[in-house]
Amino acid sequence: MMTPGKVAVGTKNLFMPSPVTLVGANVNGKPNFLTVAWCSIVNNFPPMVSISLYRIRHTRAGIKENGTFSVNIPSSRQVEVTDYCGIFSGKNVDKSRVFDCFYGKLKSAPMIVSCPMNMECSLHSTHSIGTHDLYIGNIVEIYVDEDCLTDGMPDIRRIDPMVCTWKGNYWLIGEFVAKTFDAGKRYKP
């Protein structure tokens, strides 16, 4: 029985918004980056992140080869180059010179200097789940531009990240609503 006012729209990947990231891996010794919106934190201790990549993606070879990858958070000012990395495959285009890169503790996960936030990850596990492979990575280190910190922590307003909707549109993050683990204290059932 349907609830009044609700419309069934079918089974689709409608989870939104999704963070816009640039996943990096060295493929055949060269940095390669892919735009990925299917990315999420999956564990606290140790800290882990997941990315879901369609099986034809070129970056997968580098993750398998090195056992490392990076998750880079671009700002909205980088929308064109971010979208470029999702349109063109590293199989056909050399993306190693698109960004200035740096390497951290693992020395094999390329990270993007111009992205305000970078996560350096070692591969924890890979899971085949239909059309995609799910990669779970241990976050080895997080790097944040100094001017994007407030009280030593990443500031979402300064990082200026994008989110993506299911139809593939880029959006900006909205305004502050409430503090987590605090707003609910005022709720009276």
Asked if 34 contacts 86 with a C-beta cutoff of 8 angstroms, the reply is yes
Calpha distance 39→132 (Å, rounded): 13
Calpha distance 34→99 (Å, rounded): 12
Calpha distance 66→27 (Å, rounded): 9
- Answer whether residue 7 shows pLDDT above 90: no
- Answer whether residue 160 shows pLDDT above 90: yes
Calpha distance 50→135 (Å, rounded): 5
What pLDDT, on a 0 to 100 scale, did the predictor assign at position 11? Answer: 83
Peptide bond into 31 cis (omega under 30): no
* Domains within the chain, CATH numbers bracketed: 18-186 (2.30.110.10)
Q: What is the dihedral of CA 180, 186, 187, 189, to 10 degrees?
A: 140
Calpha distance 74→35 (Å, rounded): 10
The number of residues in the chain equals 189
Alpha-carbon radius of gyration of the chain: 18
CA dihedral sign of residues 41, 11, 127, 31: negative
pLDDT in tens, 36-76: 999 999 999 999 999 999 888 999 999 999 999 999 999 99
pLDDT in tens, 82-112: 999 999 999 999 999 999 999 999 999 999 9
Asked if 49 contacts 42 with a C-beta cutoff of 8 angstroms, the reply is yes
CA angle at 83 for the pair 137 and 124, rounded to the nearest 5°: 5
